Amino acid sequence: MSVVSGVAMILTVGLSTYLFRSGVILFVGNRPLPDRFVRTLQSVAPAVLSALIVTMIAGGEGVSGIELPEIVALGVGGTTARLSKNLILGLAAGMSVFWGLDWLM
């Protein structure tokens, strides 16, 4: 793949993503969403996080695919998110612990 085709591909995907998202915001932004749709959207973040965790456990370089820094970070991040009811704070706490333990080990 040449550089020109790679840049063209990135620009095309970026523009189409922007148009799709802005279209949804423009057409649905001032209308109330159905309760069922809102409840479904609330489950997206935990589902994505669960998929990432299962992928990390299933495939990796360690014996079970997961090592001590990941286990501790998952515990800290999950506990922080559960107690604070804030997913971003849980992710920040888990990543901070992971990077700190990874640096120490």
Q: Would you write out the chain's pLDDT as a tens digit for each of its 105 residues?
A: 789 999 999 999 999 999 988 887 888 778 888 899 889 988 888 888 888 877 777 765 655 567 888 889 989 998 999 999 898 999 999 999 999 998 998
Checking 39-48 for CB contacts under 8 A at 24+ apart, the result is: 45/87, 46/87
**d(C-alpha 21, C-alpha 42), whole Å:** 18
CA atoms within 13 A on the CB side of 46: 10
pTM for the complete prediction? 0.50
Q: Which residue has the tokens 């990874």?
A: 102
